[in-house]
Each structure stands twice: as structure tokens, then as C-alpha cells.
Structure 1
Amino acid sequence: MKRFQHFVPNLTLGAPVIKSLRKHTKAYLDCHLMVTNPLDYVEPLGDAGASGFTFHVEVSKENWQELVKKVKSKGMKPGVALRPGTPIEEVYPLVEGENPVEMVLVMTVEPGFGGQKFMPETMEKVCVLRAKYPSLDIEVDGGLGPSTIDMAASAGANCIVAGSSVFGSPEPAQVILHMRKSVEEVQSSS
């Protein structure tokens, strides 16, 4: 039996859940892998029907080219994530490389657990990415909700991950609608 080391101590959803969901939806199933060995997950998640595969730059500096090729070969969109303390320059080679990632995920909290407070200082990374790569998908994850969405959208994020603010709300559909509207308004004015 192979043991997996994780970048964070919890694993929320795996390939069996993705496979079960895929049977019932054509929705984009975005997988953010906070693990030290993302290469081990490409085949199971690709076979399960995942749409996107985002790995952390902090654990993939040695093999990201191989990882991106394998992700694409399984029909998934490759993305790279970085923690709040990781310099933005570390993702440039992955965006500009011969076989580039198609999305950058800027973590707006330390990875691992939901319900953390949004770190506004991470929006500078989003601004830098948007200016440098105008057509790149830029995702933000952590502490996003009605009170922080405008800041993320204005910085240039066009993909939003929201957990606690949606699932902890008595009206989750309204929270989603509010956040979607904020992103769409910024994009339409750009």
C-alpha cells in the first residue's frame, strides 16, 4: 500500500468522490491538490473525470514540466497554486514555459483549513499577475465572501473559491449570486 504525504493534514475529496460527481454533472470539477506528491494523483483524478488539476509550486519545483504534460495528457486543465508567503515570481516560469499552466491560484489564507481570515495583502500578487498576463485565469481561495469579493475581483481575480461563506450561510444561493455579480461587473468594465 502506497502512503501519501500531504502538504496539509487533511484531504477533503478524492478520486472516488470526483468519479461519483462526474456521473451526475458536466460542471467544471476543479481539484486543488495540497499534497507533496501531486504526480501520484494525476492518473486517478483524470480517470475519475476531474476538469482542473492545481498543484503547489512549493512542492513541484523539480518536476513541474512533467506534471503539466501528464495533467494535459489526462484531459485536465493544469494550474499552479502558491501560499501567501511564496514570492509571485516563482510561478512565472510555469506560466511562460514551453508547456505552461493555464491558471494560477493565489492562496489568500494559509492552506489547510476553512474559515480563516482573508489576507488582503495577497491581492498585490493578483494585481501583478493580471498586469503581466491579461488573459490568464487567476483564482483566489481563502476567506472569500460578500465582504472580500470586491477586493479580489478589482485586483483581477476571475475564478473564486468560496467555502465557509457559502456553506455557512442561511442563503448560499444569494452569496454565490453576489460574488458572481461582483466578478462579472469588474470583467465587463475592463
Structure 2
Amino acid sequence: MTGIHTLGKLTTVPALEHLHLVAEPVAALLRTWKHAGEVGVVEIDPEHADTAGTVDVYGVPWEAGANCVVIMGKREGEERVAACVVRGDTKADVNNRVKRLLDVRKCSFLAHERAVTETGMEYGGITPIGVPTDWRVLVDARVPATDLVLIGSGIRGSKIILPGRLLAELPGAEVIEDLAV
């Protein structure tokens, strides 16, 4: 495949040929990932990097957008962190489904500064592609079932578009039914 995809008003270029458009941890994974040739990247206005902006400005359907939220909890002093990927028309079921999957009493969003530091990505552009290998990557089952998905690139100035099925192929990815509501 070529890594050239169109979603709404956005048309990508092959990510492997434009690694300068993604955060370094994303580029590092793409350099070694067998599916990287199917991944596209497109520059966007950082002011419109959130899901609502991509819908309003770029005409990307809500269900084609994917959000990555970083959740953490503790059990018996052990911290458990997960990057949760859900479609843009849903929200991660943090207080029920994610909490049970992490097997913690309480979970919350990882602090912004810490998420940025640990991922090496910009807040608002964090993607499951290239997150720390000791984090769980939980993918709502609706995401891989989506033909094309728009997701962060690790920076706010670009987005990645790829076949949804590839998010289930990320290292360590776990596809979870009803991760989102």
C-alpha cells in the first residue's frame, strides 16, 4: 500500500517518507513496524487538532476520528497505565470498563505534563503509535472495524490516517469490546 488516504478534506502523504511530520517516538515505531507502508500523515492547523476541529474544519466524520487517552490507576502500590483508543463519537468508559481491565480501585487520566514527558509527544497529539512499551494499549473494538481512522501523530500540527484494522496490530494492542460508551 502507499500510505495515501483521503478522509474528509484531508489527503495524506506516506508517513515513512515524511517522518518529520510525526513525533520521534512515532517515527521510531514506524521505522520498524511491518504495516508502516499503509500509514499516511497530513499537516493540519494545530488550532484544529482536537476531534471537534477535525470534524468542523476538515470534514472528517466523528466516527472516523480516534482519540487516545492515557489512563492510570494503582493497586497495592503498583501503578498501571494504559493508552485507550476510542472512536471520536464515543468516550472511554474510564470508571467501569477501563478500571476493571486495569484491575484497580480507582483510575484517572494521567496528568498532562507526565503524559507528555513519558510519551515524548505533544498534549493533544498523543497517539498509541509509539507509546512506552510497558503501557497497555487498549483499543475499542469499533476502531479496527472502521475503514479509515484519523488519529494523532504525536504533534498537534499533523494527523495520521490509516486503515482502522492496523490499530489492532500495534505492538501489545488489546482489542476490547465496549471499551467506550
TM-score by shorter chain over 0.5: no
TM-score (norm 2): 0.26
Report 1 or 2 for greater relative contact order, CA contacts < 8 Å, sequence distance ≥ 6.
2
More helix by share: 1
More strand by share: 2
Larger radius of gyration: 1
TM-score (norm 1): 0.25
